[in-house]
Amino acid sequence: MEAPIRLVMVGFGNVGRAFARLLMEKEADLLQEFGCQFIVTGIATGAHGCAVNADGLDLRRALSLVESGNSLAELNADRFLGSTLEMIANCPGDVFIETTPVNPQNGRPALDHIRAALLQGMHAITANKGPVVFGWQELSSLARQQGRHFLFESAVMDGAPIFSLFRGSLAGARLLGFEGILNSCTNLLLERMEQGETLEEAIRYGASIGITETDPSNDVDGWDAAIKVAALATVLMGQPLVPQQVDRTGVRDVDAQMLAAARAAGKRWKLVCSGGVENGQFVGRVRPEMVGPDSPLFAVNGTSSFVMFHLDVLPGLGILESNPGPQTTAFGVLADLLQIVRGG
């Protein structure tokens, strides 16, 4: 049997922990179907310290320690005490897994972490939108130079196959534009506000089920949606955008009166994301819009998300992801990992 594939993880929040659980749950299946085993040799967190063990960390114990609010120090067999970048430089690994919170302003520090991992000769996988938007050209070029992969299936629609779809089944098709609901948190907030809650009450509920971003304003003010629009435009359409260049309006000003007026008209408010050419220029946009039953966005409920792609060969191709959570995002990370195992 070949040696286990060594994973180095930075970020051990909801998604990172869900990925660890998925690795354990599917251990036997992955061995049988793909002939490979995985060990995690390093974990770096913002609140629970770092742990490095070249022989593999006990993931069950790591989960127990973090979820009980404790440090990972007892697992730190190699007695590593440096920074995250120093851990990346010194921890033995084959694949780097990055799941830290998004920074919609410049993509850091995740971008720096991925660059460092690629320079160390590791493949890099991220669920973080920031490095995709702010570092797509640089990181993809660096990965090619190193003979490695930079993959990010989970960056926009959790576990839904968006980027891999265009690399595979849709190769040769030209994307002309897209629109959809890309921020599942605001979709839930608007739905609960339709039911009579205030925005603040809806946000508290979203936090209680782990659906809000670390900073709720990223969702409410449209930054999370804007960076997803930028990611799709940059990677799939060759239109480099950063979120600051997206025409962005969040849901903070959608009030009970507006919701009631929409309901009376048989419509609903949705935070609509779009990208395409208008008057000869590419425009990325995020804004609340009233949609009626004739729109596919009307029936997108709860924490579901949806995107409609307009292609030169397929006028309308829609992808709906129903009520995703950390486990679906973790699956996207696993899918990227298995693509690397299969040779890219």
Mean pLDDT, residues 65-81: 90
Residues 140 and 227 in one domain: no
Mean pLDDT for all residues in the chain = 93
pLDDT at 344 over 70: no
Domain that holds residue 57: 5-159+326-341
| Same structural domain, 317 and 330 | no
Q: What is the largest CA-CA distance in the chain?
A: 65
The reply to whether 305 and 206 lie within a common domain is yes
Number of domains the chain contains: 2
Question: Is 147 buried (19+), middle (13-18) or exposed (0-12) by CB count in 10 A?
Answer: exposed
Q: Are residues 138 and 249 in the same domain?
A: no
- Work out the average pLDDT over 184-210: 91
pLDDT for residue 233 is more than 90: yes
pLDDT value for 28: 94
pLDDT at residue 213, rounded to an integer: 60
Residues 120 and 214 in one domain: no
Split at pLDDT 50, 70, 90, the class of 44 is very high
Question: What is the pLDDT, as a whole number, of residue 187?
Answer: 95
Please check whether residues 102 and 50 belong to one and the same domain: yes
Which tens digit of pLDDT belongs to each residue from 284-333? Answer: 999 999 999 999 999 999 999 999 999 999 989 999 999 888 899 999 99
pLDDT of 279? 92
Q: Is residue 167 part of a domain?
A: no
> Do residues 14 and 54 share a domain?
yes
- Do 295 and 196 lie in one domain? The reply is yes
Question: What pLDDT is recorded for position 254?
Answer: 96
* CA–CA separation, 136 and 72 (whole Å): 32
Domain shared by 185 and 222, yes or no: yes
**Quick check: is 251 in a domain?**
yes
One domain, residues 315 and 183: yes
Does 123 map to a domain? Answer: yes
**pTM for this one?**
0.92
Q: What is the CATH number of the domain that holds 260?
A: 3.30.360.10
Q: Render pLDDT for 181-195 as a digit per residue (tens, 0 to 9).
A: 999 999 999 999 999
Find the CATH number of the domain harbouring 148: 3.40.50.720
Residues 309 and 330 in one domain: no
- pLDDT value of position 273: 98
203 lies in the same domain as 74: no
Reduced to 3 states (helix: H, G, I; strand: E, B; else coil), residue 44 is: strand
For the stretch 257-292, pLDDT in tens is: 999 999 999 999 999 999 999 999 999 999 999 999
Report pLDDT digits (tens) over 105-163: 899 999 999 999 999 999 999 999 999 999 999 999 999 999 999 999 999 998 899 99
Alpha carbon distances (Å) from 195 to 25, 199, 314: 38, 11, 37
Residue 169 inside a domain? The answer is: no
Secondary structure of residue 108 in the 3-state scheme: coil
Q: Which pLDDT score, from 0 to 100, does residue 91 have?
A: 95
